[in-house]
């Protein structure tokens, strides 16, 4: 049997010394699933910013360019995938776009997976936690070169300028996002009412393939996963990395890719909350350190997730 060709990912995300967000949350699962991962750390912090204190450094766009130039000089800037997450700086984001475009010129099959991290909803109200001037860069420059995007509901609304109140709205918003460039759109979380009830969270996915004769075929799915009562950090980074891996392994089956991604997430979150409660002790609320994702302990679930969450084809 021919060995599978080595697949290489360039992941440009934040790095923490302690815990699992950004590259720390993305690299391990990708490696476990057989990918070579080259990481550029957009920041290096002691820990994620959900803790009371954090210290560290931020990489600027010139420094990013310098790292990329080093790869280029050695002719090792060949990639199958680029993965990006949280960024705070517009010039850094613009530099990422330049790098993606250059890599796509070298390899027309390169897939860019972008989590357009801009904000979220709390108690129904959306707010941005990055500077507002990032929105036009994402909308006008990043999304058009992306192949797979994983916004939450609020980010999908920001990118399209359209509010989502119903599932029909969400499907139309995903169509608008397809029209901007990406073949695959997954709205990773929403406040839509889940058919299974209030204890479930809805994610929606849409995969659009354009055939040689110019006709479109769209596959759409809904995934309902049990809510876990805690605030985790790094789940979006883990989700995007696993979606990259499973869409690679199931290129024309978004249903299976999302089932494996979301099921693995559930295994990780259930293990994390169980462990966090045990560490916090009876009757105490787990803190940020307790709630760090139990990644290493979930290796088998990441590698071969038992499907505990099914997707519905719409």
Measure the CA–CA gap between 222 and 166, rounded to whole angstroms: 13
Q: What is the arithmetic mean of pLDDT over 49-78?
A: 97
Q: Is the pLDDT of residue 297 over 60?
A: yes
Average pLDDT, the chain: 95
- pLDDT of amino acid 212: 83
The total domain count for the chain is 1
- pLDDT of amino acid 294: 98
The Cα-based distances of 200 to 124, 196, 235, 314 in angstroms read: 16, 7, 16, 18
Residues 151 and 116: beta-carbon distance below 8 Å: yes
Note whether residue 62 is domain-resident: yes
Note whether residue 226 is domain-resident: yes
Query: Structure pTM?
Result: 0.96
Q: Is the pLDDT of residue 306 over 60?
A: yes
Range of the domain at 12: 8-286+293-313
Which residues, in sequence order, are bridge partners of residue 16?
A: 45
pLDDT in tens, 157-215: 999 999 999 999 999 999 999 999 999 999 999 999 999 999 999 999 999 988 888 88
Note whether residue 2 is domain-resident: no
Catalytic annotation, pick one of 115, 147, 237, 301: 237
Note whether residue 1 is domain-resident: no
Q: What is the CATH number of the domain that holds 276?
A: 3.40.1190.20
Active site residue 237: yes
Note whether residue 35 is domain-resident: yes
Note whether residue 3 is domain-resident: no
What is the pairing mode between strands 8-16 and 125-128?
A: unpaired
Note whether residue 45 is domain-resident: yes
Measure the CA–CA gap between 105 and 108, rounded to whole angstroms: 6
Q: Is the pLDDT of residue 2 over 70?
A: no
Note whether residue 255 is domain-resident: yes
């Amino acid at each position: 049997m021919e060995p599978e060709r080595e697949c290489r990912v360039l992941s440009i995300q934040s790095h923490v010394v302690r815990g699992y967000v950004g590259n720390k949350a993305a690299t391990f699962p990708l490696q476990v699933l057989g990918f070579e991962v080259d990481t550029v750390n957009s920041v290096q912090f002691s820990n994620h910013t959900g803790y009371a204190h954090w210290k560290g450094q931020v990489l600027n766009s010139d420094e990013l360019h310098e790292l990329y130039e080093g790869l280029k000089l050695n002719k090792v800037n060949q990639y199958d995938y680029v993965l990006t997450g949280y960024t705070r700086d517009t010039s850094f984001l613009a530099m990422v776009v330049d790098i993606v475009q250059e890599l796509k010129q070298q390899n027309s099959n390169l897939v860019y997976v972008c989590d357009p991290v801009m904000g979220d909803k709390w108690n129904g109200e959306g707010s941005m936690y990055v500077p507002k001037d990032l929105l036009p860069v994402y909308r006008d420059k990043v999304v058009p070169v992306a192949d797979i995007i994983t916004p939450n509901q609020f980010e999908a609304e920001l990118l399209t300028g359209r509010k989502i109140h119903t599932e029909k709205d969400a499907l139309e918003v995903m169509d608008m996002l397809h029209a901007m460039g990406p073949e695959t759109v997954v709205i990773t979380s929403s406040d839509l009412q889940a058919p299974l009830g209030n204890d479930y969270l809805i994610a929606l996915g849409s995969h659009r393939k354009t055939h040689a004769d110019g006709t479109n075929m769209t596959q759409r799915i809904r995934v309902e996963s049990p809510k876990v009562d805690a605030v985790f950090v790094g789940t979006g980074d883990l989700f995007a990395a696993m979606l990259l891996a499973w869409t690679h392994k199931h290129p024309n089956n978004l249903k299976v890719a999302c089932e494996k991604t979301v099921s693995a997430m559930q295994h990780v979150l259930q293990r994390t909350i169980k462990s966090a409660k045990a560490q916090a002790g009876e009757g105490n609320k787990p803190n940020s350190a307790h709630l760090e994702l139990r990644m290493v302990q979930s290796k088998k679930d990441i590698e071969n997730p038992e499907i505990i969450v099914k997707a519905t084809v719409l």
